[in-house]
Structure 1
Amino acid sequence: MSDTITTLAAKLAEDTMKVMDETGDDRFFVEVGEELGASSQTLEEAFLTEIRVRLAERKARKFVIQRLSEHRSKLKAIEKQ
C-alpha cells in the first residue's frame, strides 16, 4: 500500500474517532467507510483497518487500566489489614 494511502487513511481515522467521541456515534466510521467505498475501495480498506486498530487499542487499554486498578485496590486492602 502506498504511503499516501496509509497517511490519508490514518488522518481520516483520527478525525473520525474525534467525531465519534464528541457525538457519541460509535458507528459513524461505517458511514465514512461507505462514502470512501463509493470512490476508492483501496482507501476504504486502509481506513477501516486504521479504525479497527484504534478501536482494538482502546479496548485493550481499558482492560489494562482496569486490571491495574483492581490490583492496586487489592494491595490497599492488604495494607489496611
Structure 2
Amino acid sequence: MSTLQETASKLADDTIKIMEQSGDDRLHFEVADLLGKSSQTLEEAYLTEVRVRMAGKAARALLHKKAKALVDAQKPQE
C-alpha cells in the first residue's frame, strides 16, 4: 500500500470513528477541506476512502435489515 493510500485510509477510519461518536456527519468535509489546502491528491484519496466506507456501512445495514425480515417471516405465527 502506498503512503498516499495508507494515510487516506487511516484518516478515513479515524474520521468515521469520530463522526459515529459525535454525531457530526459533516466532519469528513472539514477534514477534506484542510487536506485540499496542501494536497489535492490526498484530499481526493481521502474522500474516496470515506465514501467507500460509508457506502459499505449503508449496504451492510440494508443487508442486516433484509436478513432480519427473512428470519422474522420464517417464524411461526402465533
Name the TM tier (shorter chain): over 0.9
Q: Which runs of 5+ in 2 are unaligned?
A: none
For the residue of structure 2 that corresponds to 1:26, the secondary structure is coil
Aligned length: 78
Q: Point out the structure with the larger helix share.
A: 1
- Following superposition, the deviation at residue 7 of structure 1 comes to 0.3
Q: Which runs of 5+ in 1 are unaligned?
A: none
TM-score normalized by the length of structure 1: 0.92
TM-score normalized by the length of structure 2: 0.96
Query: RMSD value over aligned CA atoms?
Result: 1.2
Which 4+ runs in 1 deviate beyond 3 A? none
Give the letter for the 1:80 counterpart. Q
Deviations 1:18-71 (A, max 9, x none): 110111001100000000000000000000000000000000000000000000
